[in-house]
A and B are shown apart, each in its own frame.
Chain A
Amino acid sequence: MKLARDTWLTLQYEGGLLTRSPINIAISLLQPVTYLLLFTPFLKSVMGVSTYSGAYQIYVPSLLTAMGVFSGMFAGFAMLAAIGQGVIGRFRVTPLSRVGLMLGRQLVFVLLTCFQGVVITVIALLFGLRTPVIDVVVALALLALMVLIGVSISYLLAIFVPTQTALANLMNGVTEPLALLAGVLIPLSVAPLWVRNVARWNPFAWGANGMRAVYQGNIGANVVWEACAILAVIAVIAVTASSRLFDREIEIEIA
């Protein structure tokens, strides 16, 4: 109960700050929209898909997965900034639940990324994607789980590299392979066998495959519920581990 209340308080406070500057939200849409509009035509000819609807069915899940993987980047920077300004320290002196403090901040990025996902899907609909609403909801649920994992990873990395430049480099080193091995540019289905074998250990690849099945109209496929289950379990572990470890290790940084 207290956890729910404290998570909601933090979500309201941090989310409120974000919506105070809508221009930043608009800017955050630029990159995914650019990829959606300019990369899909390439993919259409490379993959030999006959219609744009088919091309979007392949690429929209990839793009959403990439947004899930890279959302952690911004979360890590925001966390370092909040630590640097002493805000995290001020919150940690209060009786606020430690997990609530972390989860509330993470949910801000979940909502932001899901909002971006809705915008991307709506634009893709305008350009020829055909998909039922329920499928979009399931895809967004998978996206939300991926964001929780991505943000947790970046918080864990932020513990060990407390400067922005170092964090940027390390994040790139971790997220680029995760993204490529999830098939965010070219789907894994055309990858060599060894790549596909490695990708089995990448939760984001499961997310991408699950989403792609959903967007192709196979919402009942095994890969969909498997992806949901795998991502849900990993997300719970990631969130708990990152808030526990963060609470224990953060003292080193500010001292």
Chain B
Amino acid sequence: MIEASGLRKTYQVRRRRKTTTVDAVRGVDFSVQRGEIFGFLGPNGAGKTTTLRMLTTLLRPDGGDATIAGIDLRRAPAQVRMQIGFVAQQGGTYNQSNARRDLVHQARMYGASKSAAQEQAAAAIAAFQLESFADRNIGTYSGGQRRRLDVALGVIHSPQVVFLDEPTVGLDPPSRARMWQEVRRLRDHGMTIFLTTHYLDEADALCDRISIIDAGLIVAEGTPADLKREISGDVVIVDLSTPGTAGAPEPVTVNEAAKVLAEQPCVRSCETIEHTLRLYADSAATAVPQVMRALSVKGIEPGAIETRRPSLDDVFLAKTGRALAE
């Protein structure tokens, strides 16, 4: 449904008479199948929104090609627009308008007649449960209500592909769960969903397949399960904060612990994140006693040791050397 190859975008940033070039997206490839929920996962500033803005015809790519629903993005952006819906991160409504008015206008922009647009707006209000506030000023809506209107506007014309930019950012947990339901409902109606997120749990729970993007390049791609399977074994997290106090350990201690643990035969790799060490081991059950012993030989007392299965954050860490979770 979406095929992208080598998409690139560079910005010229002028600041104090100095022009710097920012490579926002440095050549990304991906393909999204019909009916899929595809996630673009990465930290802020990784190039997610820029990619999305290129795919939705708002930005001209500097290089590379893409087709959406079989239409060439660069040659026929006007035709692409008929097939896609886009929900921007910041939304896109006036506070002094209301949901019904905006939905009718949105449908008319896609060519619907006045009466057809009114019917489509009424249907969208019912489907997204906007009845109780559809005729009130948008300025009075809650964050979740506003987001639901944004999505309703983005799909009023039943597009083949829907692009959602950080659909749950800033939402409280119930609104977030509800947005996930709405996204799945759109997919059940036959739409292909392309969404960006910097939430690991969102990518894990919602997406059929994900691409991890960092600094304008795709560093990993696959189903969440496959990606986690690449990191075989268990994760052992050693927290070196001193027990009973809030004080962080000396950096020397952290470095020494990292060095000694990395030498243990059961530890395959070791990453330092502030004052915790993240160890990748074949089996947590056999690794923990060895870790304890090695640390006590050096006279280091860990604050806590935790073990778990690998997460997408571990995938990100393994690919980029940095942690994604905030």
Answer whether A89 and B58 are a contact pair too, CB < 8 Å, given A21-B96, A95-B78, A255-B11: yes
Give 6 closest A-B pairs by Cβ, nearest first.
Answer: A90-B92, A86-B92, A94-B109, A93-B86, A86-B90, A95-B81
| Interface membership of A85, Cβ < 8 A | yes
With most chain B CB atoms within 10 A of its CB, the pick from A16, A86, A94, A255 is A94
Smallest beta-carbon distance B230→chain A, Å: 33
User: For residue A90, which residues in chain B have a CB less than 8 angstroms away from its CB?
Assistant: 86, 88, 92-93, 106, 153
Residues of B whose CB lies within 8 Å of any CB of A are 11, 24, 50, 53, 56-60, 78, 81-82, 84-86, 88, 90-97, 101, 105-106, 108-111, 153
List A5-26 residues whose CB lies under 8 Å from chain B: 6, 9, 13, 16-17, 20-21
User: Contacts A95-B82, A251-B58, A255-B59: A89 and B109 contacting too (C-beta < 8 A)?
Assistant: no
Contact with B along A118-148 (1 / 0, CB 8 A): 0000000000000000000000000000000
Residues of B contacting A94 in the complex (Cβ-Cβ under 8 angstroms): 81, 106, 109-110
- Give Cα A135–Cα B53 distance, bound, in whole angstroms: 50
Chain B residues with CB under 8 Å of A198's CB are none
Which of A85, A86, A87, A93 is B56 in contact with, Cβ under 8 Å?
A: A93
CB atoms of B81 and A93 under 8 A apart: yes
Q: Are A13 and B11 in contact (CB under 8 A)?
A: no
Q: Is A96 an interface residue (CB 8 A)?
A: yes
19 A-B pairs whose Cβ atoms sit less than 8 Å apart in the complex: A17-B96, A17-B97, A21-B96, A85-B93, A86-B88, A89-B88, A90-B92, A92-B57, A92-B58, A93-B56, A93-B57, A93-B81, A94-B110, A95-B110, A251-B53, A251-B60, A255-B11, A255-B53, A255-B59
Q: Judge whether B94 and A251 touch: CB under 8 Å.
A: no
B105 touches A13 (CB 8 A): yes
Chain B nearest Cβ from A252, distance in angstroms: 8
A250: nearest chain-B partner, CB-CB: B58
**Interface contact A87-B92, CB-CB below 8 Å:** yes
* A89 lies within 8 A of B92 (CB): yes
Contact of B105 among A9, A86, A93 (CB under 8 A): A9
Q: Is the CB of B59 within 8 A of A251?
A: yes
**A9 — which chain B residues lie within 8 A by C-beta?**
105, 108-109
CB closest residue in chain B, given A84: B90
A17 to B95 Cα, complex, angstroms: 10
Q: Contact partner of B58 among A21, A82, A93, A96, CB < 8 A? A: A93
Q: Is A91 part of the binding interface, using a Cβ–Cβ cutoff of 8 Å?
A: yes
The answer to whether B109 touches A85 (Cβ under 8 A) is no
Most-contacted residue by chain A among B81, B92, B110 (CB, 10 A): B92
CB neighbours of A21 from chain B (8 A)? 96
Bound complex: CA of A93 vs CA of B186, how far in Å?
Answer: 19
A252 to chain B: closest residue by CB: B11
Report how far A17 CA is from B102 CA in the complex, Å. Answer: 11
CB of A85 within 8 A of CB of B53, answer no
In A90-126, the 8 Å CB interface with B consists of: 90-96
CA distance A9 to B95 in the complex (A): 19
Give every chain B residue within 8 A of A86 (Cβ-Cβ): 88, 90-93
Taken together as a complex, chains A and B put the C-alpha atoms of A94 and B77 apart, in Å, by 10
Bitwise interface map of A from 31 to 73 toward B, beta carbon under 8 Å scored 1, else 0: 0000000000000000000000000000000000000000000
Whole-angstrom distance from the CB of A8 to the nearest CB of chain B?
10
Contacts of B111 in A (CB 8 A): 95
Beta-carbon nearest neighbor of B86 in chain A? A93
Chain A CB within 10 A, most for which of B11, B81, B106, B108: B108
* Cα distance, A229 to B82, chains bound together (Å): 39
